[in-house]
A and B are shown apart, each in its own frame.
Chain A
Amino acid sequence: MAFQMISGSQAAATAVQRVGVDLVAAYPITPQTAIVEALADFSAKGELGGEFVSVESEYAALACCNGAAATGARVFTATASHGLAYMHEMIHWCSGARFPIVMVNVNRTIGAPWCLDPDQGDSLSQRDTGWLQLYCANAQEVFDMVIQAFIIAEELLLPCMVVFDGFYISHTYEAVDVADADQVRKLVGPPAFAPQVIPGQPGNLHGLSTGETHLKLVKDRHQTMLRLPVLFNKINKAFAKQFGRSYNILETQIPSGAKRAIVAAGATAETVRWALPVLADTGLIQLRVFRPFPAAEIRQVIEENELTELLVVDRNCSVGMGGIFAQELRSALYELPKPPQVRSLILAGGVDLTEQMLVDLLQTTGNEENFALRWGDEF
């Protein structure tokens, strides 16, 4: 046990250093900069192990990681908001090429207009790119999920995004149990995935394919990603043995007899967790994994607890459709014979979730107007 008072950003950078990487390529963007600076600090002290490269754009950061991963190197980058959007083409490419890249995205609203608050729309709008997405609710989760992301990515040969909210997590200092490198490396091990580029071995890597070939590759990626729940449990058994704590795909906290629950991902889940004592007969379902979407796990929680009402906190909005978590959840619930009512609270723009909002919402009855959809500016 070695608790340190560190920010979510420092937790992310320290986890990367503890795992040990061959290359970090990064470009600064608020609110991700503290991660890049911390990694540069490790590099300056000779503690990073690999190389730190300051590149000329986020696109270049992921492209550089892509090139290094092709040779079998373990790589890391971090970004946020516009940076993630700028990477979009490479984000697709890394997944299609099966490069096990780990990237942190610190949620921040995408303009126009400019905004620094933590809307989740940046990472959620990359949902169809074939990356795994893990959402963290506090700095400890950031430290632990970054470590686990390397194991997951290299096992499934799929890139993995670790996501947390700008400022609320990235810049807030918390007590984090920071394991030392020896312990972490005992769990993670050296990079064990096969290099694709091997000098002396001819190969035409990721050249032109037919639609039929592409379909097979997409199907394989889909089926591979669906292996995550089993893998995640296996990793967390080993993690618990090593560090005395572990995680689930869904973290549920449902008081006995409660028939409704709040669904949240990232820092809002932590807010709900703290508010639960004042919210009568209400539980929490924390979405830790967004890709693959834990549809079966959610249905199981609902059936086991006979939940009739879900309130989804969406710090994002797919304009023209609504909150993205709510939308995905409704789709997952469609197969239930008696699906619960799904209500949506939209905090797009990164608006803060308050305890009072939750109290007000839960007092609203099913007969009132706007029961199904409320916006953060209505409180």
Chain B
Amino acid sequence: MKIAEINRQDEMIYPGHNACPGCGAALAVRYLTKALGKNIVLVLTASCWSIISGMPPLTALKCPILHCPFPSAGSVGSGVRRGLNARGHHDTTVVVLAGDGGTFDIGLQALSGAAQRNEDYIFVCYDNEAYMNTGMQTSSATPFGARTNTAPYPLYKEGEKKDIMQIMAAHTVPYAATATVAFPADLEEKLKTAQKVKGFRFIHILAPCPPGWGTESSDTIEVSRLAVATGFFPLYEVRNGTNWKLTVPADIKSASLSQYLGLQRRFKEMDDRRLNELQHEINRDYQRLLDQVAKVTAETQQ
């Protein structure tokens, strides 16, 4: 999709919000709210969007935003959904919006509880791979090898990025998908698909962060595209925890990991050993994903 083709009629985000230039999270929410339409309620946990949304009575979005404490998003979403049902608002889509900290770390228990209960809402994680609102501290979504302010030079993030999609798939949620801002049509389509599904839906959006990642604000889309092209962040969806489907565009040219990391200052001190280790992790996870997709294909053909 070309930018010129994006329909600007249904924008839910106001200009003049508080995001940094080139913010992937602002773009992600712009696309997702546009995809879901006007009848939505956004539950928002502590994250960059707590600031982006503006200081009340100002607001950045044309829908109700209910702020909530950091670990609580999954549970507050459950209450909002059930409360709206009790008051007859069955058609309203409830979206819980959290960053990677509010999803992978401090919000994981509430997320797991809500997923297990199959609560009827969409949980969206915009993943900028660290605690960016507080100034770039390590989260469990930070990739191996990255430098953060709690892993400063000569340290680097030890351990792999937590695989939140496999965790959600293990909860057998009706619908889970990955998306990123370089592919807005794919992102919007997944949100529209999610909106039609009943029960718990999870969307994992990779949202580049220029000040945190050390990228040029003009490179947000390119970095997002390379994340997919290198296999670092494959685009796919999974239904009921078993039905896996790749959605990577067929015409995408594959790119090398060093191309992707080279645009980001947080990987500046990455040596070959660490690069190989990260490459190994990416290959292993991509192969597992291919196996999961192949299994579905084989079963369908039987």
B135 within 8 A of A: no
Cross-interface CB contact of A93 among B39, B53, B55, B68, cutoff 8 Å: B68
Select A207's contact among B38, B67, B87, B117, beta carbons within 8 Å. B67
Tell which of B54, B59, B78, B80 touches A197, judged by Cβ atoms closer than 8 Å. Answer: B80
- Please indicate the chain B residues that have their CB under 8 angstroms from the CB of A200 in the complex: 38-39
Interface residue ranges of B57-78 to A (CB < 8 Å): 57-69, 71-72, 74-78
Does A73 lie within 8 Å of B82, measured CB to CB? yes
State how many angstroms separate the Cβ of A345 from the closest Cβ of chain B.
38
Asked if A67 and B78 make an inter-chain contact with CB atoms under 8 angstroms apart, the answer reads yes
Tally of A interface residues using CB under 8 Å:
43
Would you give the 0/1 interface string for B236-277, flagging 1 where the beta carbon is closer than 8 Å to chain A?
000000000000000000000000000000000000000000
| Residues from 45 to 95 in A contacting B, C-beta threshold 8 Å | 50-51, 53, 55-57, 59-61, 63-73, 75, 89-90, 93
Task: Tell which of A60, A64, A68, A70 touches B109, judged by Cβ atoms closer than 8 Å.
Answer: A60
B38 touches A67 (CB 8 A): no
CA distance A206 to B41 in the complex (A): 14
- Would you call B110 and A60 a contact (CB within 8 A)? yes
Inter-chain contacts of B54 with A (CB < 8 A): 204, 207-208
Does A25 count as interface, using CB distance less than 8 angstroms?
Answer: yes
Given A200-B39, A202-B63, A207-B50, also A71-B68 (CB < 8 A): no
A244 within 8 A of B: no
| B86 is an interface residue with CB less than 8 A from chain A | yes
Contact of A195 with B87 in the complex, beta carbons under 8 Å = yes
Assembled-state Cα–Cα distance A63/B71 (Å):
9
A88–B28 alpha-carbon span in the complex (Å): 32
The residue on A at minimum CB distance from B72 is: A63
A165-215 residues at the B interface, CB under 8 angstroms: 195-210
- Tell whether, in the assembled complex, residue B117 and residue A205 are in contact, meaning their CB atoms are under 8 Å apart: no
Q: Which residues of A contact B65 (CB under 8 A)?
A: 203-205, 207
CA distance A279 to B80 in the complex (A): 54
Residue of A nearest to B111 (CB): A56
Q: A71 near B84 (CB under 8 angstroms)?
A: yes
A-B pair count, CB < 8 Å, reads 170
**Contact A205–B64 (Cβ < 8 Å):** yes
Q: How far is the CA of A23 from the CA of B78 in the complex (A)?
A: 11
Nearest B residue to A21 by beta-carbon distance? Answer: B86
The residues of B that contact A55 with a CB separation of less than 8 Å are 75, 78, 113, 117
* Choice from A22, A59, A93 contacting B86 with Cβ under 8 Å: A22
Cβ–Cβ contact A204 & B110, under 8 A:
no
CB of B76 within 8 A of CB of A63, answer: yes
Complex partner residue of A205 from B51, B56, B60, CB under 8 angstroms: B56
Q: Are B86 and A73 in contact (CB under 8 A)?
A: yes
Tell me which residues across on chain B come within 8 A of A198, comparing CB atoms.
64
Q: How far is the CB of B81 from chain A (nearest CB, A)?
A: 8
- A67/B86 contact (C-beta < 8 A), A204-B59, A207-B53 known: no
Report if B83 contacts A (CB, 8 A): yes
| Contact (Cβ within 8 A) A197 B76 | no
Query: Residue A70 contacts which of B39, B51, B53, B66 (CB distance < 8 angstroms)?
Result: B66
Contacts of A197 in B (CB 8 A): 41, 64, 66, 80, 83-84
Residues of A within 8 A of B82 (CB): 22-23, 51, 53, 64, 67-68, 73
Query: Given the interface contacts A199-B92, A207-B56, does A64 sit within 8 Å of B75 by beta carbon?
Result: yes
Q: A56-B110, A93-B69, A200-B38 are in contact. Are A208 and B83 (CB under 8 A)?
A: no
Please give, as numbers and ranges, the residues of chain B lying within 8 Å of A195 by CB-CB distance.
87
B21 an interface residue at 8 Å Cβ cutoff? no
User: Measuring CB to CB, which residues of chain B are less than 8 angstroms from any residue of chain A?
Assistant: 38-41, 43, 50-51, 53-69, 71-72, 74-84, 86-87, 89, 92, 109-110, 112-113, 116-117
Extra contacts, 15 of them, besides A204-B67, A206-B66 (Cβ < 8 A), are: A51-B82, A53-B82, A59-B109, A60-B109, A67-B66, A69-B79, A71-B89, A75-B83, A89-B69, A89-B72, A197-B80, A199-B64, A201-B64, A202-B63, A208-B50
23 pairs from A and B in contact (CB 8 Å cutoff): A22-B83, A23-B83, A25-B75, A56-B75, A59-B109, A59-B110, A60-B74, A64-B75, A68-B80, A68-B82, A72-B83, A89-B69, A199-B84, A203-B65, A204-B53, A204-B55, A204-B58, A204-B67, A205-B66, A206-B66, A207-B67, A208-B50, A208-B56
